[in-house]
A and B are shown apart, each in its own frame.
Chain A
């Protein structure tokens, strides 16, 4: 009835259609798959060994053969600067929230954050997607959706877990979304990853005052990230004549190119918006 060629062409077209349907279904969900922990557990020990070896030799080079004293001093100063920045930011947030709370005559106790430090042992093989593998997992008390941070700001959230390893979706990935506020004006929006670089601060109403240089912090309303964590700095604002939202771009504070260690927050807020910075 049909020639072999026609059957083959129809078969290929069908195959392509099925392929597109499957990919469009999987692309609307979290990029993870149940037995994925096997794949992570299989490759992660080798990644740990390679990263450990390369960092060991790179440390020897940096610390012992080149500018021993300068490297140490630089490290100390960088640490002090990071601590000061974090402290400064914390005080700013405390002052603002104190003001608001005084007005409301309410008081809520700040919850102490429990964190676990993790080392980055692998990065996403594709430049189009932004994830990392860290050396802490289920056995260290990690669960899905836990926030991951560095002193400079928000890094991402845990999306896949294995025994001793986890996959973290970075805030710069296009699948990431963080509910956030402009620290100065409390304008609210969603920080989503952009494919080219940085992040987009979506759904910020045109009437809100947002300026380049403004700090963007987490709102705590997404139920994942505690309130008041630094996300990034506004790097561009475009207000079009039409539309109810403005286009805001944000440059994250965390440097994802040089990310080596991260902190996973083990006790994020359980009820959105209940924590005070």
Chain B
């Protein structure tokens, strides 16, 4: 059920960001929405459960995008690792710090993207363009990131509770 939930959410996010969001001018600097789900996995789910989902999502994104193969997968794995590492020292889940998890994840992803672009064409990226895009993405991430995390947590726990109840009912019968 957990994997089904992850598959449905990820597919929904991929379709949303490659169709609707990509066509609306106001979301020109929108961030990669799958980062929110990777952050959620890093914060609330186990490594065993998260890694297969992240690998699958990274693979899909790498194939849908024109980015060098492996870039999305790399970004998601480093974001996940970063969040897990951060949680060893900070009580992210239970504090206001949770608001900054998505923006930090977006920041990590963009730094990786720009590093790879820089490897391809060192003179290709201008600082003003990078600042503008990063600023826009961080703005949207701060504004919407916590809501995504809340949504995943509430929805996922409801599904788990529902599944557990059904199991208990079956066992009781």
Indicate whether A122 sits within 8 Å of B20 (C-beta atoms), given known contacts A23-B74, A43-B11: no
Contacts of A29 in B (CB 8 A): 68-69
A179 at the interface (CB under 8 A from B): no
**A23 in contact with B70 (CB, 8 Å):** yes
Q: For chain B residues 109-128, which have a beta carbon within 8 Å of chain A?
A: 113-114, 116-117, 119-121, 124-126
Interface SS majority for chain B: helix
In the complex, what distance in Å separates the CA atom of A47 from the CA atom of B61?
14
In the complex, what distance in Å separates the CA atom of A29 from the CA atom of B66?
11
Partner of B67, one of A37, A128, A196: A128
Partner of B18, one of A128, A133, A194: A133
Q: How far is the CB of B7 from chain A (nearest CB, A)?
A: 10
**A124 in contact with B70 (CB, 8 Å):** no
A135 at the interface (CB under 8 A from B): no
Indicate whether A39 sits within 8 Å of B124 (C-beta atoms), given known contacts A23-B71, A23-B119: no
Contacts of A31 in B (CB 8 A): 65-69
Q: How far is the CB of B76 from chain A (nearest CB, A)?
A: 12
Q: How far is the CB of A190 from chain B (nearest CB, A)?
A: 13
11 new A-B contacts at CB < 8 Å, known A32-B63, A128-B114, A174-B124 = A35-B63, A43-B14, A43-B64, A51-B19, A122-B22, A122-B64, A123-B18, A124-B18, A124-B65, A128-B113, A175-B66
**B14 in contact with A125 (CB, 8 Å):** yes
**B124 in contact with A42 (CB, 8 Å):** no
- Point out residues on A near B: beta carbons under 8 Å: 19, 22-24, 26-29, 31-33, 35-40, 42-43, 46-47, 50-51, 54, 121-131, 133, 159-160, 167, 169-170, 173-175, 194-196, 257
**B64 in contact with A27 (CB, 8 Å):** no
A-B contact count (CB 8 A): 134
> Which residue of chain B is the closest to A12 with respect to CB atoms?
B81
Instruction: Give the size range of B's interface with the partner.
Output: 35 or more
In the complex, what distance in Å separates the CA atom of A234 from the CA atom of B122?
24
Indicate whether A39 sits within 8 Å of B69 (C-beta atoms), given known contacts A23-B116, A125-B18: no
Chain A to chain B contacts (Cβ below 8 Å), 9 pairs: A27-B120, A42-B11, A51-B19, A123-B23, A125-B61, A160-B63, A174-B124, A195-B129, A196-B125
B133 at the interface (CB under 8 A from A): yes
In the complex, what distance in Å separates the CA atom of A174 from the CA atom of B120?
9
Partner of A32, one of B25, B28, B69, B71: B69
Q: How far is the CB of A245 from chain B (nearest CB, A)?
A: 14
Contacts of A129 in B (CB 8 A): 65-67
**A126 in contact with B67 (CB, 8 Å):** yes
Contacts of A36 in B (CB 8 A): 62-63
Contacts of A37 in B (CB 8 A): 63
Contacts of A133 in B (CB 8 A): 18, 64
B104 at the interface (CB under 8 A from A): no
Contacts of B64 in A (CB 8 A): 39-40, 43, 122, 124-125, 133, 167
Contacts of A128 in B (CB 8 A): 67, 113-114, 117, 133
Indicate whether A39 sits within 8 Å of B60 (C-beta atoms), given known contacts A123-B18, A129-B66, A195-B124: yes
In the complex, what distance in Å separates the CA atom of A38 from the CA atom of B56?
11
B29 at the interface (CB under 8 A from A): yes
In the complex, what distance in Å separates the CA atom of A131 from the CA atom of B22?
12
